[in-house]
Amino acid sequence: MPERRRGAALEKALLDAAWDELTANGYARFTMDAVVRRAGTSPPVLYRRWSDREELVRAAIVHTLRGYRLDTPDTGSLREDVLTLMREINATRVPLITVMSAQLAGYHQETGTCTAELRDPLATGRKEALDVLYDRAVDRGEIERGRLTERVKALPFDLLRHEILTSFAPVPERVLEEIVDTVFLPLVR
């Protein structure tokens, strides 16, 4: 007989099952009953935590995104720091970005939300990590702080996400370098 899950272990199992159901079948076919079956639990266990599918989907996304945090590189140059981070995203996040876009279109339409709103609980940590990366570059004299608007700081990663979403595949190295060398760095130097 399997050990009974409780507390954090049970919540993790439920959220993992919800994410698996979402990625396998998309939001349109996502049901609380399917998550219950996938998690091997009962409806009351699920409904005690999340009252409806929108709430459960949001919780599953936030839970999943927490597992995708990246370390802030420190290579000694802004160019290499940004490229290192972009390469890591490119190598490990294409399926996540694809699911967030393709499988959640119905969720966004039904709830009136957008992907950025789903990332909000994690945005502070991501922003702080990028601020550390850019502060180091300013301290080294590589870039001017006055040129670092929030839009400019996000630009290489926004362009990477755009490339992934237009191809649903990892971005070639030459494109990563082009984003950094011909678009981003000229803006901050």
Query: Are 38 and 102 members of one domain?
Result: no
pTM: 0.75
- Quick: pLDDT tens for 125-171: 567 888 999 999 999 999 999 999 999 999 999 999 999 989 989 99
Residue 88 and residue 50 in one domain: no
Nearest of 129, 141, 125, 128 to residue 78 by alpha carbon = 141
CATH number of residue 139's parent domain:
1.10.357
- The verdict on 24 and 103 lying in the same domain is no
1 in a domain, yes or no? no
Question: What domain range is 42 assigned to?
Answer: 7-64
- H/E segment holding residue 54: helix 53-66
The number of folded domains in the chain is: 2
124 domain residue, yes or no: yes
Do residues 139 and 50 share a domain? Answer: no
Q: Based on the domain organization, do 75 and 93 belong to the same domain?
A: yes
Give Cα separations from 140 to 81, 108, 128, 136, 137 (angstroms): 13, 42, 18, 6, 5
Do residue 28 and residue 108 come from a single domain?
no
Are residues 36 and 103 located together in one domain of the fold? no
What pLDDT digit, counting tens, does each position of 57-114 carry?
Answer: 989 988 888 877 788 999 999 999 999 999 999 998 888 887 777 777 777 777 777 7
